[in-house]
Amino acid sequence: MEEKQKTVDQVMHDRMKEMKVETMYDRYQAQLPQCGYGSLALCCRHCNYGPCNIDPFGKGPKKGICGADANTFAARHFLRMSGAGTACHSDHGRAVAHLLVATARGEAPGYRIKDVEKLMAVAECFGVKTKDRKINEIAEEVGEMALMEFGKPYGTLLFLKRAPEARQKIWEKIGIASRAIDREVCESFHRTGIGGDQDYKNLTKQAMRVALADGWGGSMIATELQDILFGTPKPVQGRSSMGVLKKDSVNIIVHGHEPQLAEAIVMASSDPEVTNAVHATGAKRVVVAGLCCTANELLVRHGIPMAGHMTMQEPAISTGVVELMVVDIQCVMQAIVETAKHFHTKIVTTLPKAKISGAEHVEFSDEHAVDAAKKILLMAVDNYKNRDNKKVFIPGGAEPNIVAGFSHETIKYMLGGRFRASYRPLNDNIINGRIRGVVGIAGCTSPKVGVGEESYVNLAKELIANDILVVATGCAAGQCADGGLMIPEMKDACGAGLKEVCEAVGIPPVLHSGACVDNSRILIAVSEMAKEGGLGNDISDLPVAGVCLEWMSEKAIAIGQYFVASGVYTVFGTNSPVAGAPDMQRLLTSEMEELVGARWDFEKDFKKIARMVIDHIEKKRDALGINVKKERKLYDMAERRALERECKPAPSGHH
Residues that bind ligand MSK (CB under 6 A): 257, 292-293, 310, 331, 443-444, 474-475, 515-516, 552-553, 555-556
**In this complex, which beta carbon is closest to ligand MSK, that of residue 16 or of residue 516?**
516
List b or e across 576-592, with b for residues whose CB sees 16 or more CB atoms inside 10 angstroms. bbbbbbeebbebbbeeb
Taking the complex as a whole, the smallest distance from the CB of residue 402 to ligand MSK amounts, in Å, to: 17
Taking the complex as a whole, the smallest distance from the CB of residue 469 to ligand MSK amounts, in Å, to: 20
Taking the complex as a whole, the smallest distance from the CB of residue 219 to ligand MSK amounts, in Å, to: 11
Q: Which residues contact 607 (CB under 8 A, 6 or more apart)?
A: 462
As separate numbers, helices (DSSP H) first and strands (DSSP E) second, the chain gives 27, 16
Q: Which residues contact 289 (CB under 8 A, 6 or more apart)?
A: 244, 245, 251, 252, 253, 254, 295, 304, 305, 306, 307
Taking the complex as a whole, the smallest distance from the CB of residue 377 to ligand MSK amounts, in Å, to: 24
**In this complex, which beta carbon is closest to ligand MSK, that of residue 25 or of residue 413?**
25
As a three-state string, the secondary structure of 553-617 is: CHHHHHHHHHHHHCCCEEEECCCCCCCCCHHHHHHHHHHHHHHHCCCEEECCCHHHHHHHHHHHH
* Beta strand pairing call for 437-441 and 401-404: unpaired
**In this complex, which beta carbon is closest to ligand MSK, that of residue 552 or of residue 588?**
552
DSSP 161: G
**In this complex, which beta carbon is closest to ligand MSK, that of residue 543 or of residue 546?**
546
574 and 153 in contact (C-beta within 8 Å)? no
Q: Which residues contact 574 (CB under 8 A, 6 or more apart)?
A: 446, 448, 449, 549, 550, 551, 604
568 and 598 in contact (C-beta within 8 Å)? yes
Q: Which residues contact 400 (CB under 8 A, 6 or more apart)?
A: 239, 240, 241, 481, 482, 484, 487
Taking the complex as a whole, the smallest distance from the CB of residue 84 to ligand MSK amounts, in Å, to: 12
Taking the complex as a whole, the smallest distance from the CB of residue 306 to ligand MSK amounts, in Å, to: 12
**In this complex, which beta carbon is closest to ligand MSK, that of residue 553 or of residue 566?**
553
**In this complex, which beta carbon is closest to ligand MSK, that of residue 518 or of residue 541?**
518
Q: Rounded to whole angstroms, how far apart are CA atoms 584 and 604?
A: 19
Taking the complex as a whole, the smallest distance from the CB of residue 157 to ligand MSK amounts, in Å, to: 22
Q: Which residues contact 644 (CB under 8 A, 6 or more apart)?
A: none
**In this complex, which beta carbon is closest to ligand MSK, that of residue 93 or of residue 443?**
443
**In this complex, which beta carbon is closest to ligand MSK, that of residue 70 or of residue 556?**
556
**In this complex, which beta carbon is closest to ligand MSK, that of residue 499 or of residue 555?**
555
580 and 42 in contact (C-beta within 8 Å)? yes
Count of other CB atoms within 10 angstroms of residue 60: 10
Residue 600, beta-bridge partner list: 570
Taking the complex as a whole, the smallest distance from the CB of residue 442 to ligand MSK amounts, in Å, to: 7
Taking the complex as a whole, the smallest distance from the CB of residue 88 to ligand MSK amounts, in Å, to: 8
